[in-house]
Amino acid sequence: KKSMSTPQSKTTVSSDIETFREIFLQDESGIFSRIAEFTERVSFNRNHALLDKKLVSELFRLFHTLKGNAMALGFEAIAEYAHAVEDALHAVSVSQVPNDATTAQFLIDCAEHLKEALASCRAGNSSDLNLNVQTQEARAFMSKQRGKTAEAPRPSPKPSPPKPSIEAPRGRFFLSVQI
């Protein structure tokens, strides 16, 4: 069997990947700028109200896309960090962590770390070490926040209505109506 791969095709694929990596770093798709835009909204709202569900959903979608793109292009540290933030956003959306100013500040900090990593990659430096530490810190923060939610008092369930204590004789139907 002949191999379909030629030295020229390997060079073309390699240069294509490098082209896509450059497009990714230059934010041609707008993912990084949209994350920055949405975290500015978080910053504006963090002391006024809870995080807006639409905002959390959009940030989740952006970080999910960022994770996939970074993974496909070999930016493992960015992909892992985006995954950690994506997990945090999911936890906020399903109320596993408090939706409060602390969590809002965490998301703002995440966007800032991502911005720094992007600048480092654009300058030709590796962001791996810094983002690996940031990923661990993000996961630790979310674990701590989950603990706060678990400790919060939950409202007691409404008591169920009392069941009738009268039993029907065997072989006959008994109907109980409560008005």
One DSSP character per residue, 137-156 reads HHHHHHHHHHHHHHHS--PP
Mind listing the pLDDT tens digit for each residue in 21-78?
888 888 767 888 888 888 887 766 655 556 778 888 999 999 999 999 889 888 888 9
Residue 50 DSSP label? P
pLDDT in tens, 95-110: 888 878 888 888 889 9
Cα–Cα nearest to 42, from 90, 103, 97, 96: 103
> Which of 86, 91, 98 minimizes the C-alpha distance to 50?
98
Compute the distance between CA of residue 145 and CA of residue 154 in angstroms, rounded to an integer.
16
* Of 57, 104, 106, 105, nearest in space to 84 by CA: 106
CA distance 178 to 31: 60
* CA distances in angstroms from 167 to 64, 161, 164, 170, 172, listed in the order given: 58, 17, 8, 9, 11
Q: What is the mean pLDDT of the chain?
A: 76
Phi/psi at 14 (nearest 5 deg)?
A: -60, -45
pLDDT at 83: 94
| Residue 151 confidence class, pLDDT cut points 50, 70, 90 | very low
